[in-house]
Structure 1
Amino acid sequence: MTISATGIKENSKIFITPLNSTDKQPIIVSAKNIGESFEVSLDSPVSWDVKFDWWVLNVE
């Protein structure tokens, strides 16, 4: 899943909090697209929508 976030930088830390079951899988930040977005994924698909909150912290 791609999340639009134009503030993403090379050194950004992205924190994910799941709001429902992920079937015991971590939500992975699989890509950072600098200045555009980031991508999240699970190792194995699930049959329901996984809901989550996210927060980006830019560090120097």
Structure 2
Amino acid sequence: MSCQSPAMPNGRCRLHGGVNPGAPKGNRNALKHGRYTAAAIANRRMLSALISQMRETAGMVE
């Protein structure tokens, strides 16, 4: 059973809408702060690995 709500001028149901194409391609707003750039992720992984190595080394000293 289809919706009985009247359509908007664009032909879509005003309650249920329709297919949303999503964000525009090439949206640069997602990179506004740079936290999720490839370089930032690589730096965090390298720092995490260094901290793990330091903890292992400190455990050997004790």
TM range (shorter): under 0.3
- Larger fraction in helix: 2
Return the index of the structure with the highest Cα Rg: 2
Calculate the TM-score normalised by the size of structure 2: 0.17
Question: Looking at both structures, which has the greater relative contact order when contacts are Cα pairs under 8 Å and sequence separation is at least 6?
Answer: 1
